[in-house]
Structure 1
Amino acid sequence: MDKEEICQYFNSIIKNEKDVSAGMAAIRTLLKVLKHSKSETVQELRICLQHAIDAMRSTETPVTAIASGSELFLRFITLATLDTPSIAECKGIMLERGKVFYEKLVAARGKVAKVAAHFITDGSTILTHSKSRVVLQAMKEAAASNKIFEVYVTSTSDNNGEEMCQSLTKLGISCTVILDSAVGYVMEHIDMVMVGAEGVAESGGVINKIGTYTMAICAKEVKKPFYVLTESFKFSRIYPLNQIDLPNEFKYTYSVLLTKNLKKEHPLVDYTPPHYISLLFTDLGILTPSAVSDELIKLYL
């Protein structure tokens, strides 16, 4: 598959399958590339997959989850490539492990949702930011347990908050869309904050849609718990210390990086340092931010 075919396949998943995240679409694409690769050595195969990752990073989809998911995928499928007599056998093992990895990804969201749903208590009021598939799933789980609760959701510039509110309303959950700038005002009225994540840094800090950091600061000031719901494939071996330290490729789309003056552009994401985060609900269990680095070591051992 050439670069254009890879981008086309990846973009078609993003466009047509709204329930599939960028990270999962990236893994699906890598599996297809692996299946159709005509590489004759393991080294060529790795280069082929790396070219595919670079191609996906050049699309207009934010790269945070693409980067972490793809890196973990490569690590996972290449663990068992030693001592295989032929490239065909090696490729077969990689494909099999890749499928297992993807199945784990598919199951991860449900695991996170089940863990987080227990923290949603009857009569509680929750604030969430924009639209997160895993937060929506957790609230769906809680509603299915006959818990009655209320949700405030920020509208955000892309109107994803409106979409989140419509999804919640269909589930029979009382929901109100608020301006992003109303977060401080609403914070006194809520019991907890629940947000998703596009990526989780080695420090336990979170990369997520712009405005998450502001929400976390407000929650800390008013002493409200700030919970992050995320799958472990979004754990990334980066260690930003502040907003400027976050790589530009995470903050802007590819076309903006190529053609625009970044000083005049609004970043897509911000970085929330670990000391603002109460707990992370993951498919590996409930973690404190400081536990993320330990889990990353296990994932890459």
Structure 2
Amino acid sequence: MTSVVLSQPSPLRDLASSAPIKQDFDITKAFHRILEDEAISTPLAAVMALTELIQNSDAGTMFELVKALNDGAEALKQHTANPISLNAGCELFIAFVTLFPHDSANFSDLKAELIRQGQNYATEALTYRKKIAELAVGFIKDGSIILTHSYSRVVMQTLLLAHKQKRISVFVTEARPRGLGIKTAEALTAAGVPSTVILDSAVAYVMEKVDFVLVGSEAVVESGGLINAVGSNQMAIIARAANKPFYALAESYKFHRLFPLSQYDLPSHNSSILSFSIPNPEISTVSSSSSSQDQDKSEANRNKLVPTPITQEYISRNNPDVDYTRPDLITLVFSDVGSLTPEGVSQYLVGMFAG
């Protein structure tokens, strides 16, 4: 399933009103079962779950099948707090099915071929991180000091490969609210890579010491911009101010036809993020037989505000998980399809989904 096969529309366009699926198949359960494999990321798990949906579909026409896939994708989104990378995988697979060129004798043969292609793509996609790592290592000089953010499988693979060939040191942000930078630092230290965890608020402090910034991605959008763990945007801004390269690593199944203009255009944004809490007045009940002094104290308590306890859990709920980095702040995007400028990502996406 590549950009080549996404270039011709299918002539199958039948009219139907239902999208029958076997009753014992639950795409959400299939999706979460697939995600239990640490090597599989969210968009790839979506592709694999939708492939299983085809296997369990009783659809007799292309219209029914596409409707079943769209319904399945919608069901997955309903059970995901941050649907961005999930959307990228669903979008890619549904476009593939819709535009798949074929000469099948009947619809059953077509479904079997779609299942085979989906399974082959999933197998091939698991090699993408290795391709990206080999490409990106060529840009890492011996003795490099690297700044990375949060936790990314493809970044980890790249850093571990670089460590085998060159001397590197890595600063890792703590990456609140999820704190996944600690996971990265622990894995690097276990592999013998010199690494130090820094506060998110110390990015500007450490930027003068680093040679470049290297981050992963939740998605790379149509503008060539990047959606990644919150804090990536401020790192890119500081890197630009310090004239340091900002590199992003992204498998091509994370390329997403989305065009945000600001942070608030992201599908993950909602009204509860960065909302202001309103303190509650302290409530005190006084009986009618109470003294005037007690009543005066009660009146004073009514004007007293009770602050909301500020816990790490409360901060996490009130803050975004991801943010958007503009394309002009990104130096290069390393992908399994090559090293691309942000403009190159836009061109690739256009060709990938051309009908």
Q: TM-score, normalization: structure 2?
A: 0.77
CA shift digits 1:57-102 (9 cap, x unpaired): 1223521111112111122233336553422111012112212322
Range with bigger deviation, 76-85 or 166-175? 76-85
Find out whether 1:109 has 2:110 as its counterpart.
no
Quote the residue 2:169 is aligned against.
Answer: 150
Find out whether 1:284 has 2:337 as its counterpart.
yes
CA contact (8 A) 2:77 2:86 kept: yes
How far apart, CA to CA, are the structure 2 residues paired with 1:171 and 1:61?
33
Quote the residue 1:163 is aligned against.
Answer: 183
Larger Rg belongs to? 2
Quote the residue 1:239 is aligned against.
Answer: 259
Deviation at 1:284, TM superposition (A): 0.8
CA contact (8 A) 1:80 1:93 kept: no
Deviation at 1:46, TM superposition (A): 1.0
Cα-Cα RMSD: 1.8
Quote the residue 2:119 is aligned against.
Answer: 99
CA shift digits 1:97-126 (9 cap, x unpaired): 212322332121111111111122211100
How far apart, CA to CA, are the structure 1 residues paired with 2:81 and 2:24?
15
What is the number of residues matched between the two proteins? 290
Quote the residue 2:353 is aligned against.
Answer: 300
Deviation at 1:13, TM superposition (A): 2.8
How far apart, CA to CA, are the structure 1 residues paired with 2:112 and 2:28?
24
How far apart, CA to CA, are the structure 2 residues paired with 1:51 and 1:274?
32
Quote the residue 2:89 is aligned against.
Answer: 69
Q: Where in structure 2 are there 5+ consecutive unaligned residues? A: 1-21, 276-317
In the alignment, residue 250 of structure 1 is paired with which amino acid?
S
Provide closer, same or farther for how the CA distance between residues 236 and 152 of structure 1 changes in structure 2, counting only shifts above 3 A.
Answer: same
Find out whether 1:250 has 2:261 as its counterpart.
no
Q: Where in structure 1 are there 5+ consecutive unaligned residues? A: 252-256
CA contact (8 A) 2:59 2:65 kept: yes
In the alignment, residue 261 of structure 1 is paired with which amino acid?
S
Deviation at 1:4, TM superposition (A): 8.1
1:1-301 maps to which residues of 2 (within 5 A)?
5-14=26-35, 16-60=36-80, 62-80=82-100, 84-145=104-165, 147-156=166-175, 157-246=177-266, 249-251=267-269, 261-264=272-275, 265-301=318-354
How far apart, CA to CA, are the structure 1 residues paired with 2:32 and 2:113?
27
Local SS of the residue matching 1:9: helix
Provide closer, same or farther for how the CA distance between residues 58 and 123 of structure 1 changes in structure 2, counting only shifts above 3 A.
Answer: same
Quote the residue 1:254 is aligned against.
Answer: none
Provide closer, same or farther for how the CA distance between residues 61 and 174 of structure 1 changes in structure 2, counting only shifts above 3 A.
Answer: farther
CA contact (8 A) 2:226 2:327 kept: yes
Local SS of the residue matching 1:244: helix
Provide closer, same or farther for how the CA distance between residues 263 and 158 of structure 1 changes in structure 2, counting only shifts above 3 A.
Answer: closer
Q: TM-score, normalization: structure 1?
A: 0.91
Deviation at 1:19, TM superposition (A): 2.3
Local SS of the residue matching 1:60: coil
CA contact (8 A) 1:129 1:153 kept: yes
Provide closer, same or farther for how the CA distance between residues 179 and 101 of structure 1 changes in structure 2, counting only shifts above 3 A.
Answer: same
Local SS of the residue matching 1:127: strand
How far apart, CA to CA, are the structure 1 residues paired with 2:113 and 2:33?
27
How far apart, CA to CA, are the structure 1 residues paired with 2:101 and 2:352?
17
How far apart, CA to CA, are the structure 2 residues paired with 1:194 and 1:73?
28
How far apart, CA to CA, are the structure 2 residues paired with 1:169 and 1:250?
33
